[in-house]
Amino acid sequence: MIRLTRCYFSALLLSPLLALLTSSVALAENDNPVGDAVAGDGIDFSSADFWETIDGKPVGESWEFSDGEVRLVNPRGGNGSLISRPLPPNFELSWEWNIQEKTNTGLKYRVRKFGKALFSNSFLGIEYQIIDDAPTKLDKGSTASIYDLVAPAGEKTLHPIGQWNQARVVARGNRLEHYLNGHLVASATTTGPSWDKTIALSKFYGAKDFGSPKAGDRIMLTDHGGKASYRKFQFAALEVDAADIEPPAASGPFLGNAMRNSWADQDSIVIWTRTTARPDFVADGLEFVSISTKAASKLSKETDPEKLLGAQLPEDVTLSQMLGACPGAPGRVRLMYFPGKQRYATKTTDWITTGPDSDFTAQWKLEELKPDTQYAAIIEAQSLDRDETTAVVRGAFRTAPKVNAKKDVKFCITTCHDFIRRDDGMKGHKIYPVMTEMQPDFIVHAGDIEYYDKPDPWAMTIELMRFKWGRIFALPSNRDFYSRTTSYFLKDDHDTLKNDCWAGQSYGSVSFEQGVRLFNEEQFPSLKPRYTNVRWGRDLEVWFLEGRDYRSPNSMPDGPEKTILGEEQKAWLFKTLEESTAKFKVICSPTPVVGPDRANKKDNHANEIFAHEGDQIRAKLATIDNVIVLCGDRHWQYASFDSDADLWEFGCGPGSEKHQLGWKPGDERPQHRFLRVAGGFLSGELNYTGEEKQPRLTLRHHKVDGETVSEFHFPIEGDGGEWHGDKPIR
């Protein structure tokens, strides 16, 4: 039901009618889901007492109020805009307006503040744009448009400069309509995927529920330059039913895993997404059948995918019903992206159809990007049978600075995640909101992003591996962080196949080669070969290593032929390190090069079974200044120094408080300069200090809540000094 009460305001019609209106629209909160209510004793747009300026100066400095008109006579470039008292957010409002040449003004409604991140917490709202333009001007900034959101649908009846035009706005629930001189010009529904897309491509992205009705909303007359007059305001509050504000039913496909990116350099990046049957995961799903480690080891000898799945599901249950499930669904997707705030420079890709053969994933390699630039990225999904938006997600990424740029850089590195050992409930991992606040230029996930060979479920089939990826990247904190942060993803053993794996092995029905393809080509942004180096400005270069694809079997006798990196990658690493002119050369490795490691480990360069190549690498790095290794894999945080190779290594530690550890607290070895047997992450910060602005690289270990527990500054003299306890002596 809609109740309409129309009121005409001029200098002569005031008090009795206003009193009646005020009482008729003051609605109890329980009677109206958006809380229509009027603050104050009356509504009179033509009265100076009804308004205040947004900068607090007297309204008379910019505006005149006489003969029933409101006139902007002394424009102040935005500071003089008028803001009303709170008004009902559901209403019909008409008025007349008259502008001079080169004027830019308008009427905003449903105006409120959206926080410091949006225009420094200034008042924002939907705007009926009024500007000096032609009737044929039909862009999102033209007269009668829903400013920056919806363009006029067709040619307008627009009276010339100096003549009066009539405007009308109807804002009812989630429906907006703009009229000009009696004709509907622009309209919108402020819920659903189409509106999400509209907001994502606008300057109002990030304003929660922008355009939706809310108690306390106001109206604004804008001062953006030029003189304008307004008169004959007619305002009517509307009462709406709940049906008027309920969003339309969503049908999918959705984007439950949002997006992620990798391999950014100065002018390119790869973007990934996946179409899903749900907008998020199954938060109230069923638990898997518990299988012990011993029983799982026996089960892994089975090769029938149906038996491997059936052994872990409750009877008569499908995988899509399990806790955390985020199943894929067919659809099509396209990507829109633009640099900085340059929305009008948006580029749009062709549509990509998603299907089950690739787990409904899609990727784009973007090229010819600008260096040192923050980009917005918007992915739109549609079903295969309708030309209608079904889901939209907006993310972001940053390109690396120019090679010769003297730029501050901040980054983080993490490792060792899985769903069952997350430490922030159904939000995900605690480190991600913390790192979001730190605003790193990029993040490195150094591998073991998920564990196939851990329970609930033991992922011994391609279907179960895909299930685990869909689940962990549907966790809100994890998903949102990677959607808007430049990332580099490395892989290790547990997210390739199983513990300490190599080519030729299998796990259940999955071969090593299938596991490699699943990670390299399907579940993460692709790169061939899967190792690279990226210069982040003049003084920082970063190497990203591949530690599984080229390795020899662990069981092979050690010697010149035994390798983790493979001959081509190793030759590339040595050559590019020698050629680098960066002050600091940071190697990101899935596994340790220095260690120390546990005596029973047999999978990395800090272990005796890879001693030949480990010695070769350390000897080479000893000949190059300012090389630092950052690694994942190990379930504790450490900084170590190899005095023979003059080489530092930092282990970032597992990304969860609940991840199993693997080192005895207090077991301090001669190489250690810091040891903490707990979860957290590592951060790095390059900045320029002193009068001569010399580059300095600071590496810090953090707890999962962000607390700093170690700090090292490079260049560093000698071996970093003596060390005792849980903090370095500097």
pLDDT on residue 121? 86
pTM of the model: 0.91
pLDDT on residue 625? 96
pLDDT on residue 638? 98
pLDDT beyond 50 at 292: yes
Helices 476-483/431-438 angle, 10° precision: 30
What is the DSSP pairing of strand 442-445 with strand 487-489? Answer: parallel
Closest CA to 605 of 589, 615, 593: 593
Under a CB-based contact definition with an 8 Å cutoff, are residues 203 and 218 in contact?
A: no
pLDDT beyond 80 at 703: yes
Q: Which amino acid is at 707?
A: E
pLDDT on residue 321? 98
Which of residues 240 and 651 earns the better pLDDT score? 651
pLDDT digit string (tens) for 127-157? 999 999 999 999 999 999 999 999 999 889 9
Task: Tell the burial category of 1 from Cβ atoms under 10 Å away from its Cβ (0-12, 13-18, 19+).
Answer: exposed
Count of C-beta atoms within a 10 Å radius of residue 80: 22
Helices 567-579/611-621 angle, 10° precision: 10
- In the chain, pLDDT over 70 holds for what percent of residues? 93
Stretch 75-82: mean pLDDT: 89
pLDDT beyond 50 at 40: no
**H/E element, 16:** helix 15-25
pLDDT digit string (tens) for 594-623? 999 998 889 999 999 999 999 999 999 999
pLDDT beyond 60 at 170: yes
Report the SS3 class of residue 187. strand
Instruction: Report the C-alpha gap between 35 and 29 in whole angstroms.
Output: 5
What is the dihedral angle through the alpha carbons of 414, 418, 423, 428, rounded to the nearest 10 degrees?
90
Stretch 434-450: mean pLDDT: 99
Instruction: Report the C-alpha gap between 328 and 313 in whole angstroms.
Output: 19
Under a CB-based contact definition with an 8 Å cutoff, are residues 111 and 239 in contact?
A: no
Instruction: Report the C-alpha gap between 177 and 171 in whole angstroms.
Output: 7
Stretch 384-388: mean pLDDT: 94
Under a CB-based contact definition with an 8 Å cutoff, are residues 459 and 418 in contact?
A: no
pLDDT on residue 26? 33
Q: What are the backbone dihedrals phi and psi of residue 319, each rounded to the nearest 5 degrees, phi first?
A: -60, -30
**H/E element, 219:** strand 218-221
Closest CA to 61 of 48, 51, 43, 74: 74
pLDDT beyond 70 at 309: yes
Task: Identify any residues that bridge with 654 across adjacent strands, giving them in sequence order.
Answer: 415
Instruction: Report the C-alpha gap between 18 and 52 in whole angstroms.
Output: 20
C-alpha distance from residue 87 to each of 26, 62, 172, 218, 233 (Å)? 10, 23, 14, 6, 14
pLDDT digit string (tens) for 390-409? 999 999 999 999 999 999 99
pLDDT digit string (tens) for 177-233? 999 999 999 999 999 999 999 999 999 999 999 999 999 999 999 999 999 999 999
What single-letter DSSP state applies at residue 426? Answer: G
Q: What are the backbone dihedrals phi and psi of residue 560, each rounded to the nearest 5 degrees, phi first?
A: -60, -25
pLDDT on residue 530? 97
pLDDT beyond 60 at 730: no
**Confidence band of 13 (pLDDT split at 50, 70, 90):** very low
Closest CA to 637 of 622, 618, 650, 656: 650
pLDDT on residue 116? 83
pLDDT beyond 70 at 29: no
Stretch 412-433: mean pLDDT: 98
Stretch 560-583: mean pLDDT: 98
Query: Any idea which of 117-121, 409-413, 650-654 has the lowest mean pLDDT?
Result: 117-121
Query: Any idea which of 22-26, 296-300, 402-406, 529-533 has the lowest mean pLDDT?
Result: 22-26
pLDDT beyond 60 at 246: yes
* Displacement of CA 317 from its chain's centroid (Å): 33
pLDDT on residue 728? 52
The residue with tokens 């953090």 is: 702
Stretch 686-690: mean pLDDT: 94
What is the DSSP pairing of strand 409-414 with strand 442-445? Answer: parallel
Stretch 555-578: mean pLDDT: 98
Q: Which two tokens stand for residue 518?
A: 């699943």
Q: Which two tokens stand for residue 426?
A: 């159904």
Q: Give the HSE-up count for residue 168: Cα atoms under 13 Å, Cβ half-sphere.
A: 14
**Which sign does the torsion angle of CA 413, 415, 420, 421 carry?**
negative
Domains by residue range for the chain, with CATH: 3-244 (2.60.120.560)
**Confidence band of 249 (pLDDT split at 50, 70, 90):** confident
Full DSSP string of 571-599? HHHHHHHHH---SEEEEEESS-SS----T
Stretch 496-523: mean pLDDT: 99
**Confidence band of 725 (pLDDT split at 50, 70, 90):** very low
pLDDT on residue 248? 74
Task: Tell the burial category of 343 from Cβ atoms under 10 Å away from its Cβ (0-12, 13-18, 19+).
Answer: middle
pLDDT digit string (tens) for 616-649? 999 999 999 999 999 999 999 999 999 999 999 9
Report the SS3 class of residue 464. helix
pLDDT on residue 32? 34
Closest CA to 537 of 695, 683, 412: 695
pLDDT beyond 80 at 412: yes
pLDDT on residue 718? 64
Stretch 568-597: mean pLDDT: 98
Query: Any idea which of 79-83, 271-275, 614-618 has the lowest mean pLDDT?
Result: 79-83
Count of C-beta atoms within a 10 Å radius of residue 494: 23
pLDDT on residue 324? 98
Closest CA to 119 of 131, 111, 107, 129: 111
pLDDT beyond 70 at 268: yes
Instruction: Report the C-alpha gap between 271 and 692 in whole angstroms.
Output: 39
Which of residues 18 and 345 earns the better pLDDT score? 345
Closest CA to 630 of 659, 600, 653, 613: 653
Which of residues 436 and 37 earns the better pLDDT score? 436
Residues shown for the chain: 730
Instruction: Report the C-alpha gap between 311 and 21 in whole angstroms.
Output: 68
